Amino acid sequence: MKLRFLLDENLSPQIKLALQRRYPQIDVLRVGDLGAPAFGTLDPAILQYLQITQRVLITDNRASMPVHLQDHAAAGGQHWGIFVVRKEGPLGSLIDELHLYWEASEAIEWIDQIEWLAV
């Protein structure tokens, strides 16, 4: 199964638009979209959603997410990958890097993995 992404609500909606425009074959939702968690959903519920839907979270949350990940794992939960990005990174580079991960790997490879993207 190919990677499926969920963008954190704190990231620009332009990321989703650019990813869909350049690589329409990639399945990407953003928090607040139909079928995704609502705006304001707390991190523990986001982690539950990721586990159920088998989506990789793309986030810039370096503050609270690590604590919630520890709690989630301690409760026996898993996630399908967390990609941590910098908000101020160049959009085109981020889009191409996400495509590279999508093209070169399978979703199962990212279970309980955290990747810090260089962009």
pLDDT of residue 119: 60
Q: Rounded to two decimals, what is the model's pTM?
A: 0.93
Q: What percent of the chain has pLDDT over 70?
A: 98
| H and E: helices and strands count for the chain | 4, 5
Radius of gyration of the chain (CA): 13
Query: pLDDT band for position 23 (50/70/90)?
Result: very high
Give the residue from 117, 119, 116 showing the smallest Cα distance to 93: 119
pLDDT tens per residue across span 70-93: 899 999 999 999 999 987 778 999
